[in-house]
Structure 1
Amino acid sequence: MSNPCRVSLCITEEEDEVQPYSSKAATSSTHEVPIQNSPVKSWQWWLMVGVNMFFLIAGQTASTLLGRFYYNQGGNSKWMSTFVQTAGFPILFIALFLFHSKTSSTQTVTSSPAPTISIPKITLIYVVLGLIIAADDLMYSYGLLYLPVSTYSLICASQLAFNAVFSYFLNAQKFTPLIFNSVVLLTFSASLLGVDEDSQGTTSISHGKYILGFLLTLGASATYSLILSLMQVTFEKVIKRETFSVVLNMQIYTALVATLASLVGLFASGEWMTLQGEMHAFQSGKLSYVMTLLWTAISWQVASVGVVGLIFVVSSLFSNVISTLALPIIPVFAVIFFHDKMDGVKIIAMLMAIWGFMSYGHQLYVDGKKGRKTTVSVEETS
């Protein structure tokens, strides 16, 4: 997994500098250096954004398709599916190690002491968030089991609407007409799939399990958005800084707790006793079974690298928007690989989800443009 590490290293080289198009303020870093608005700097920033977007979209798409492949080939362990969503977190230690190695050899112009963090408090936060993540992953696992991939991914797009609501209450985000439009569109998109019986597809899943899968996926999307907002509150109120290493530590330790919780669930549920038989009965073979789980875990962490990179380089909100961008793409691959049915209702739901995403994205563009104008005016007056 050298590629994610190289991308992470590129990001850390710029950590203590204010990005020319970043929403981060200079005070969010523990070090301050002069702003460099050279064309090369701007080009590097856009390159980092683009590469991390690719990691996030590719990782999320691959992990979702592999998760469905696991079920299609005879896998049935919901806790194993939950476990692999976070079990690859040790990969992130490589990025963290490279980050510390790089920053230890760099010099900064000025430095200020990092705020003191209460170890018991941050540990409690990591544990609580990790347990919520484990529950969230379990809901996603049930949703992917009971729903066609195309339906599942389109319902997941509702996380952007939930993110707007939670950000309004927890992060003081303004509820503009564009965001309201996005929330309405994404809500209608998910509602269409909920009431459309044809979205159940040609699988043998009963209507009751389809409804359960729909509700759990919707609940998982809401929970995921809540997690992002709680992380943002933690950065602002507890840690009081949002550097690359801080975001990466948050990702690693919450994933560790979620992985341990998934293991407890795997053994407590008794599903661990069925894994050997599941591997032998896997339609494409034992090796395929192991590789499916392995690459699912790796794919999730590739997506995590993209998430962390975008949170640092741009913002957590932008990271969530880009993760939502992948969701309308997945149904296309689902039709190709799993022959999912794409009826008129699904197409309309997908178009509404894309419209909602574009509305949300345009609001980000407007906010960013206003922020840059404000920065320029402040610099001119000073």
Structure 2
Amino acid sequence: MPDLYIIALAGLGLLVLLVAWLPMVLRRAPLSLPIFCVFAGYLAFSLPGAGPAPFPMWFPVATERLTELVVIIALMGAGLKLDRPFGRRSWRQVWRLLGIAMPLTILVTATLGWWWLGLGPAAALLLGAALAPTDPVLASDVQVGPPRSGEEDEVRFGLTAEAGLNDGLAFPFVNLAIAAALAAGTADAWTGTLAAWVLVDVAWKLAAGAGIGWVAGRVLGWATFRAHARARLARTGDGFVALGIMLLVYGLAEMARGYGFVAVFVAALVLRAAEREHDYHDTMHAFIEQAERLLMMLTLVLFGGVIAQGLFTALSWAEVAVSVAVVFLVRPVLGWVSLIGLSWPRRDRALIAFLGIRGIGSFYYIAYALNHAPFADGAQLWSVVGFVVLLSVVVHGVTVTPLMRGLDVQDGRSLDR
């Protein structure tokens, strides 16, 4: 029997090759890369002698850190590839999705968790907050193309910008759920908790994240494109500069007690605006995209492994029903409602409403919350969130290619994507 380390090296090599090869093969098929990854993990961990799967409850810190890294890489990539300048009117669908659809999704999902699943108030709120954001990682198939590619119709732009911002904006509600779990339901504790939440978790952390992202983006944009010719970072031609920028901005924001997710996305937007047509954006985005794809595949293979070894063993019909409602009713209906009034074809509103993909960001929020407060319903939360993500991976993975190609055909765009 070969050494486990050697087997792991061979498996990692295969994974890297698949990262490069599969997107070309699956580009026109009604089958997404995430579906393949989950299925591959399921098969691998179902084999005799595969060993125990890394259940997130057993490795809580590693789960939090891995999913955190995948999300911030995806946020950096989303910000770099948006061609459209930031603006109140030009981003109007994004503000509606963030200001109407997301809070209502949190409220409705939390109500379902409390009323139907019997979760406590804190756990129900955490469930709603974790499942509200459109995932920036698994939504790559419905996002805009690389920088300056021209693949930025209203549907793709709306889903990309929404995914870039709503992970950070869901954080205050996750923190409120944590505070509620720590407050233990006492009235006096709740009074202080709500005041601290408004001042710190909403006002300060959002402002600090956005402010640090803007300042860092301006400074690093100057260093990358406008410094003395010999000192410009763009002269290096190295795409991993984007990784350094991402990690620096995230670390600065977290040290200032701000939301690092917000800071990374804002910094990427500001960096892109510093020299919007420069070729170096393509280089940075290509590196970030490859890193994101590799970590996404690794995470989903492990997810498939925990499914194979019993993540859903304790699921009841009530939990399945809530999961189905989140994917097929809650987001589609509330997404549609939030876009009423826009002079768009119904087709575009329906696509944005339906394609609110749930994914790795939801895993991160559950892991983060369970590592910061005692939730008696932790195993149940993992089962429900895992099943929602699996449903989203399968349903959206099968439908996204024909839906987006149909959109391109109707709008007269090239199908050579």
How does the TM-score come out when normalised to structure 1?
0.31
